[in-house]
Amino acid sequence: MIQRIQSLWLLLAAACAFAGFKFPYYTGNKLNDTALYELNATSTLLLMVTTIAVGVLALINIFLYKKRSLQLKLCVLGILLEAVLIFLYYREIQNFIPDKSTYSLTAILHSVIVLAFVLAARGINKDSKLLKESDRLR
């Protein structure tokens, strides 16, 4: 299980997803307030639930190594969930004043999650091809 590179990519995706609870995505002033706010996964319930879903999906996907077709479908689902999460962050950013707000450096974590899911899917696909080739040679 851990020998496969896609397990490491999925573990990286889960770690980055759960790091979203600790690190901010966006920092600045809201439209009707002068206080400084940080937008992270705990800011709204929808962001929290979606972030948990992405992280748990990546962790569960690690242990489905015998069911490669399901694992590949769950990687695609993880990419779609992460796209929804990025859209939800974008929607929340609209509540901030543009001149006094900025993206945090840790916003890159969400790009890393998408990249990790893509690389994991690529590794799963390689394993499937290798298994088909070895079955053909028998």
Specify the pLDDT at position 1.
47
Give the CATH number of the domain where residue 80 resides.
Answer: 1.20.140.150
**What mean pLDDT comes out for the span 105-127?**
92
Poorest-confidence range of 64-73, 102-111, 123-132? 123-132
pTM (two decimals): 0.88
Backbone φ and ψ of 30, nearest 5°: -80, 165
19-29 tens-digit pLDDT: 999 999 988 88
Tokens for 5, please give them: 């590179």
Other beta carbons within 10 angstroms of residue 70's beta carbon come to 12
46-101 tens-digit pLDDT: 999 999 999 999 999 999 888 888 999 999 999 999 999 999 999 988 888 888 88
d(CA 69, CA 132): 13
- Between 109 and 137, residue with greater pLDDT: 109
What domain range includes position 44?
5-137
Specify the pLDDT at position 137.
58
Contact 27, 101 (CB under 8 A): yes
Domain count within the chain: 1
Tokens for 56, please give them: 């748990």
Specify the pLDDT at position 2.
47
